[in-house]
């Protein structure tokens, strides 16, 4: 049975020691799908919601979240993020695809930063549009790809 890296010999949680790992460029891409009424998406992408520019605000929130991941997830290492980008685009009549690409040159990966970024971006979108559509649904938050470090590149299958 594989030993869990966040648990010590006695079963207590611990932060993984990455001190002996090699410094490499690491990238992670995560995705979220948001479903909402077509009319709501029309308002979002025409910048006509009363709270302001939803897309720009959600992108900024996602970038900020990537930088604060270690403050939110107890065993994550604080990382000097080299880049964080959020892409938000309409897909069809009732869906928005959000993706977060996060990079670092360091000793541990940025999967949690990418997942946190895309989730907070989706939550921000929800918060700004809920006044016109309380049925907005955040779906399919998942890691799409990670690369760098000893394990190399990993891409997720089409569905979880």
4-41 pLDDT tens trace: 566 667 667 766 767 677 888 999 999 999 999 999 99
User: Quick check: 72 pLDDT over 90?
Assistant: yes
Question: Which class is 24-155 in CATH?
Answer: alpha beta
Q: What pLDDT is attached to residue 2?
A: 53
Q: What pLDDT is attached to residue 20?
A: 72
* Phi and psi at residue 61, to the nearest 5°: -60, -40
Q: What's the pTM value of the predicted model, to 2 decimals?
A: 0.89
User: Quick check: 160 pLDDT over 70?
Assistant: no
71 is catalytic: no
Residue tagged 């997830």 (tokens): 73
The length of the chain, given as a count of residues = 160
Q: Which of 53, 71, 127, 133 is catalytic?
A: 127
Note the pLDDT tens digit of each residue in 103-156: 999 888 899 999 999 999 999 999 999 999 999 999 999 999 999 988 888 898
DSSP H stretches of helix in 16-110: 38-45, 54-67, 69-72
């Amino acid at each position: 049975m594989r030993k869990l890296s966040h648990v010590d010999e006695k079963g207590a949680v611990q932060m993984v020691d990455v001190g002996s790992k090699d410094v490499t460029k690491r990238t992670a891409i995560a995705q979220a799908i948001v479903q909402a009424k077509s009319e709501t998406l029309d308002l979002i992408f025409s910048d006509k919601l009363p709270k302001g520019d939803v897309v720009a605000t959600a992108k900024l929130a996602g970038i900020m979240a990537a930088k604060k991941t270690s403050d939110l997830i107890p065993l994550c290492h604080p990382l000097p993020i080299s880049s964080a980008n959020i892409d938000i685009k309409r897909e069809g009549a009732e869906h928005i695809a959000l993706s977060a690409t996060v990079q670092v040159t360091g000793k541990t990966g940025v999967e949690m930063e990418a997942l946190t970024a895309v989730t907070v971006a989706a939550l921000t979108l929800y918060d700004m549009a809920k006044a016109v559509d309380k049925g907005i649904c955040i779906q399919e938050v998942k890691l799409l790809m990670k690369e760098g470090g000893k394990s190399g590149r990993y891409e997720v299958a089409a569905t979880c």
